């Protein structure tokens, strides 16, 4: 891969392994210092156009489980239906002030995107399904 052009290593700490190890010193000068490879840290990433140069460990991940009410007219296995739901979720997040995010479906262990809830589970919880 291409090494980053901007480097700010403290004297004696140049590793030539930009993105693999190092840390930012928060004191005066904000110089980078070497750390052992066993040390796991988040790091700053940059973008080249729309492409991520590296995978940032500093991003927050949020897993959201939603309950969708399926109607007879919708087939949740249809890619067009999933895409429409996905686009509605993206639009809602942007409207609520989240301009930059990556959204993706998470597959279940059986390979499916959606789990169908059994009626017995609904009765145990004793609550009515919300309308979507």
List, for residues 63-87, the tens digit of each pLDDT value: 777 777 666 677 778 888 888 888 9
Asked whether residue 72 falls in the same domain as residue 118, the answer is: yes
Asked whether residue 45 falls in the same domain as residue 68, the answer is: no
Asked whether residue 90 falls in the same domain as residue 123, the answer is: yes
At 58, the pLDDT band (50, 70, 90 cuts) reads very low
In whole angstroms, give the CA distance from residue 75 to residue 23. 49
Positions of E strands within the chain: 23-24, 32-33, 47-48, 51-52
Asked whether residue 85 falls in the same domain as residue 38, the answer is: no
Q: Is 86 helix (H, G, I), strand (E, B) or coil?
A: helix
Which of 52-66, 83-97, 108-122 bottoms out in mean pLDDT, i.e. has the lowest? Answer: 52-66
Task: Give the pLDDT of residue 107.
Answer: 82
Q: Tell me the pLDDT tens digit for each residue of 90-108.
A: 888 888 777 777 888 888 8
- Domain hosting 111: range is 61-132
Q: What is the pTM of this model?
A: 0.42
Average pLDDT, the chain: 66
Asked whether residue 90 falls in the same domain as residue 52, the answer is: no
- Residue 6 in this model has a pLDDT that exceeds 60: yes
The domain total for the chain is 2
Asked whether residue 46 falls in the same domain as residue 72, the answer is: no
Asked whether residue 100 falls in the same domain as residue 39, the answer is: no
Task: Give the pLDDT of residue 49.
Answer: 55
Q: Which of 23, 74, 75 is nearest to 44 (CA)?
A: 23
The vertex-30 CA angle with 28 and 35, nearest 5°, equals: 120
Asked whether residue 91 falls in the same domain as residue 42, the answer is: no
Only one residue has tokens 């279940």, namely 108
Task: Give the pLDDT of residue 70.
Answer: 63
> pLDDT above 90 covers what percent of the chain?
0
């Amino acid at each position: 891969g291409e090494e980053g052009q901007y480097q700010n290593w403290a004297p004696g700490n140049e590793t030539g392994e930009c993105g693999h190890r190092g840390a930012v010193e928060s004191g005066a000068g904000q110089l980078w210092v070497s750390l052992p490879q066993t040390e796991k840290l988040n790091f700053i990433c940059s973008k080249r156009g729309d492409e991520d140069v590296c995978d940032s460990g500093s991003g927050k991940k949020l897993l959201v489980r939603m309950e969708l009410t399926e109607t007879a007219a919708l087939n949740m296995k249809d890619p067009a239906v999933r895409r429409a739901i996905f686009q509605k979720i993206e639009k809602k997040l942007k409207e609520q002030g989240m301009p930059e995010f990556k959204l993706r479906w998470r597959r279940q262990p059986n390979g499916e995107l959606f789990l169908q809830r059994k009626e017995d589970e609904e009765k145990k919880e004793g609550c009515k399904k919300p309308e979507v």
